[in-house]
Structure 1
Amino acid sequence: MLLGVSGLVAGLLVGGVLLVTVLGGTLHRGAEDAANRTATEFAGLIANDSLPDPLPVSGDDVRAQVIDDQGRVVAASLGADRLVPFLYPDERPAPGSDRTSSVYIAGERIGVTGPVQVVAVPAGTAAQPRTVLVAKSLGDLVRAVDLLKHSLLIAYPLLVLLLAAIAWRVIGATLRPVEALRAGAQRITDGSRADRLPLPASRDEIHRLAVTLNGMLARLEGSRARQRAFVADAAHELRSPLANLRTQLEVAQRIGDPPDTDELLADVRRLGRLVDDLLLLARSDDLAGRPDPVTGPVDVGGLLATVAARYPGTVTLRPVDGTPWTVGDEAALDRVVANLLDNAVRHARGRVELAGGVTGDRVEITVTDDGPGIPAADRDRVFDRFTRLDDARARDAGGAGLGLSIVRELVARHGGTVTLADAGPGLRVTVRLPAAEPDPVEPDVDSDSAAPAQARSVQTGFARPTTPAG
């Protein structure tokens, strides 16, 4: 605020100096132009040999003389000296010169008060050269400029005080909401309150800033809450297999018998899967919604056949409709299909179907089971991390509640969507991904060797998705 008032004072000071300087220069140029016009008129009269005597001038502040090449006064106006020229010889133009000059002299030399501006204009002929001298008193001009200076010296401090007071109040009123925001942010930082920043009453930029900051604080609070819940759920999920491992090892140590390796391996595998899932989700959080770089074209039909082969006698692979291809990470899409089939097999009563095809510019992967399904009210919630439905999930028989969360994260990275719907009875999960043109496959030189799917994913020259990600 002090800086603003100082800038205002400096600006007014510079403005006052410029005003006095410009006004003084303008008045001086006006006086010189008037004297020059009068002298030029007298020069014209001399050329016409019609110069009157005394010389007619307007105003008491103007004097005129006409002198010859010897410096003698040959004509003068009323009030002008008829013996002594206004200018000394070194101040006048040389005889015969055509140069017009302007000289400032003291007013006492011609009997007036204040400075005087004298204009010298050559006139006459080469045989009889003359010089016209017109003296213009600048006393009124100087007094006017001095009056302006004195007025500014008196009005300037008063104006500065008035504008400083106004600026103090206006800037203070403008910055008061900012100070309130700062104080609110300080209280939040100190932990004395967990509220939002105060909203100013005015609907201006500061109000919009406060709304934006409150939205950011809400998102940060939600992120912290999700992080705390994630850590608590992860610790809770890790506790069970770790407790089982510890119990078996302690019992084996006490009784001296080797532990059941099958149970130990089952718990270790469960821990491994849980750690992998947590790392994948943590990496997704680090990406903050940014998609992973695509790695290559993916043959969705071949991918579905590969995954379905891991569930012999349990999953039925329906004929693939068309030639579905997409662009992305084949291992990640394999994880998507495997997670969906794991959920379906876990909850199905006997039928699990896997299908794929192309619909418009989208590749669709569908997993259908005849299990209890998921109520419509819970279909958004099941994608949350560590979520289980009471009638369909159990911690011992099922997973950790991360399968569908991982599916949603991986599908989102590939610019796709995942939806749940009734299969009557059962559940139908549909994954939609951007479609791409099939990858051109070079002819095989060895008919007994087949290029694996992962080798295809690193070839160059594949087509990009036909629609933007999202």
Structure 2
Amino acid sequence: MRKGSVRSRAALGATLVVALALVAAGFFVVATLRDGLADTAKLTAQNAASATAAQVGDVPDSEVRNVDGLDGDEPAQVVNADGKVLGASDPLERRPAMADFARPDKHDRPDKSDEDDSDEDSREDVDGDEESKVLALPVDDDGEVTYDKEDVVGTQEFRVVGVQSFTGDGTPVTVYSGASLGAQREAVSTVTRSMLFGLPVLLIVVAGVTWLVTRRALRPVEGIRQEMSAITASTDLSRRVPEPDSRDEVARLARTTNETLAALEGSVERQRRFVADASHELRSPVASLRTQLEVAAAHPELLDLDGAVEDTVRLQNLAADLLLLARLDAGERPTQARVSLAALVREEVAQRAADPHPVRVEGALADGEVRGSKGQLARVLGNLLDNAQRHAGSEVRVSVMAEGGGLALVVADDGEGVPEGERERIFERFVRLDGARSRDEGGAGLGLAIARDVAVRHGGSLTEEGASGAGARFVLRLPLAAEG
């Protein structure tokens, strides 16, 4: 059993719980059995005393010793008010009254009238005309009361019940009858020994069964662990952990692990494509800029300064886009400033007087504010307008309208539009449709990807909803800022 393993802890925990439960149950059973047998002995003695008392009431004082209730094996006495024994079973016939040598029974309640008695070994439980005591009497091999020194082998406890009665002569007497408590003691001792012997065996069985059941239950977990270790060592994220056929927590763990591996594989693949595409996009302006600088170094008069500046600007824009994407991928959260989309549109349109196609504001811009980063939202609007300028035929339209519990910013153009099958693909990184690639030498295919990422991180969405052939229509939806 490996130290600290789940199986060992489960087996130990189950064994301790069962042990505590069995010990508590054992104490309860033994106590219940002991009390039940004691009550049975008391009832037996009570019935015998009552039967003898009924017989004593039919005979005079001189005939008391001959009643049938005094010839049994159990101890019995008939004592008058002066303490004289009028009749008794054979072993007690010439002995003092049983009331004179009674000892306490720990289950009896003390008689309040005797609380000041100096004899602490004498306690009585008196109920009307009846009293109950426990006596320790000498017994022989057969457990019968005897005072013959040659036959005495020890003492045995008897539950003695005294019943008040009268003889046929009207003499008040107390009839004592006893029932042996040996059967009670023996039964309690037997049950206790059985429990002490059976408890370790049962605990061993519980520990073994728990160990085996836990081992079987955790076997799929060990398979998952081994496969994950192999995946880590090989860095092959296409591998998957085995999924059990069961529908328990282990099976759900395996499915979740495979889903995590699939997501991780997709993330790593996207990262690889991103790096490859970024390298490809950077290669062209860097190569062009290097060529121009090498030519200028050899022939200064041939330097294409405008081209060098253009390539430098492309590099700068691409580096800025890559940096923003890296921050978004790292989980950067936007600020929670209040931004007016209507004011943002007016500011951006005012800066685009020199664009190839005029930007027209449609209708009245809806009032309202959203929560977020003004700089990032301005970047989204700028990217959408840049995309519309590259594809518009004659004009670009912008509008802001209230929609449900938020605002919708719409940027539309009158170009060829986006085919329905490409409306999600255009938001992927470094994706440029063939028509756009032939018309645009400067775009890297990151503008729409950045715009959607920013929209999602602001709790909104960005979709393309135009009809093919009727121009593109990009809709940015953002929730209204809460009041206060």
Q: TM-score scaled to structure 1, two decimals?
A: 0.75
- 1:259-316 Cα deviation digits (max 9, x unpaired): 655444433332332222222222222328xx63531141x33322221222226223
Note the C-alpha offset of 1:382.
0.9
> Alpha carbons of 1:73 and 1:199: their partners in 2 closer, same or farther (altered >3 Å)?
same
1:307 matched to 2:348? The reply is yes
How many angstroms apart in 1 are the aligned matches of 2:161 and 2:471? 114
> Alpha carbons of 1:77 and 1:307: their partners in 2 closer, same or farther (altered >3 Å)?
same
1:28 matched to 2:34? The reply is yes
Note the C-alpha offset of 1:197.
1.0
**Aligned partners of 1:119 and 1:134 also within 8 Å:** yes
Q: Secondary structure at the match of 2:432?
A: coil
Note the C-alpha offset of 1:198.
0.4
Q: Which residue is equivalent to 2:469?
A: 424
Greater Cα shift, 15-24 or 357-366: 15-24
337, 348, 358: which one pairs with 1:295?
337
> Alpha carbons of 1:86 and 1:20: their partners in 2 closer, same or farther (altered >3 Å)?
farther
Q: Which residue is equivalent to 2:401?
A: 357
Partner letter of residue 91 of structure 1? Answer: R
Note the C-alpha offset of 1:40.
9.2
1:137 matched to 2:137? The reply is no
**Aligned partners of 1:32 and 1:119 also within 8 Å:** no
1:340 matched to 2:371? The reply is no
Q: Which residue is equivalent to 1:64?
A: 76
> Alpha carbons of 1:356 and 1:186: their partners in 2 closer, same or farther (altered >3 Å)?
same
Q: Which residue is equivalent to 1:458?
A: none
Partner letter of residue 225 of structure 2? Answer: R
Q: Secondary structure at the match of 1:401?
A: coil
Q: Which residue is equivalent to 1:222?
A: 266
Map 1:376-387 onto structure 2 (within 5 A): 376-387=420-431
Greater Cα shift, 351-360 or 162-171: 162-171
Q: Which residue is equivalent to 1:459?
A: none
> Alpha carbons of 1:427 and 1:192: their partners in 2 closer, same or farther (altered >3 Å)?
closer
Structure 2 runs not aligned, ≥5 long: 1-6, 105-109, 115-122, 126-131, 147-151
Report percent identity of matched pairs: 36
Note the C-alpha offset of 1:390.
2.1
Paired residues, number: 433
Q: Which residue is equivalent to 2:129?
A: none
Q: Secondary structure at the match of 1:323?
A: coil
**Aligned partners of 1:68 and 1:130 also within 8 Å:** yes
> Alpha carbons of 1:135 and 1:292: their partners in 2 closer, same or farther (altered >3 Å)?
farther
> Alpha carbons of 1:322 and 1:258: their partners in 2 closer, same or farther (altered >3 Å)?
closer
- 1:389-419 Cα deviation digits (max 9, x unpaired): 2221269722221100111122223333222
**Aligned partners of 1:118 and 1:133 also within 8 Å:** no
Note the C-alpha offset of 1:327.
1.0
> Alpha carbons of 1:60 and 1:341: their partners in 2 closer, same or farther (altered >3 Å)?
farther
- 1:51-88 Cα deviation digits (max 9, x unpaired): 87357669967423345687653443466444245576
Note the C-alpha offset of 1:224.
1.7
**Aligned partners of 1:320 and 1:357 also within 8 Å:** no
**Aligned partners of 2:53 and 2:175 also within 8 Å:** no
Q: TM-score scaled to structure 2, two decimals?
A: 0.73
Partner letter of residue 239 of structure 1? Answer: R
1:463 matched to 2:483? The reply is yes
Note the C-alpha offset of 1:381.
0.9
- 1:409-460 Cα deviation digits (max 9, x unpaired): 2222333322222263432222233356xxxxxxxxxxxxxxxxxxxxxxxx
Structure 1 runs not aligned, ≥5 long: 437-461, 465-470
Q: Which residue is equivalent to 1:278?
A: 322
- 1:127-164 Cα deviation digits (max 9, x unpaired): x9977654322233334344445655676676566656
For the aligned residue pairs, the C-alpha RMSD in angstroms reads: 4.2
How many angstroms apart in 1 are the aligned matches of 2:275 and 2:375? 27
Q: Secondary structure at the match of 1:371?
A: coil
1:76 matched to 2:88? The reply is yes
How many angstroms apart in 2 are the aligned matches of 1:341 and 1:254? 41
**Aligned partners of 1:39 and 1:120 also within 8 Å:** yes
**Aligned partners of 1:123 and 1:129 also within 8 Å:** yes
Q: Secondary structure at the match of 1:392?
A: helix
Partner letter of residue 349 of structure 1? Answer: G
Partner letter of residue 139 of structure 2? Answer: E
Partner letter of residue 306 of structure 1? Answer: E
**Aligned partners of 2:52 and 2:175 also within 8 Å:** no
Q: Which residue is equivalent to 2:416?
A: 372
Q: Secondary structure at the match of 2:463?
A: strand
> Alpha carbons of 1:244 and 1:203: their partners in 2 closer, same or farther (altered >3 Å)?
same
How many angstroms apart in 1 are the aligned matches of 2:232 and 2:72? 80
Q: Which residue is equivalent to 1:208?
A: 252
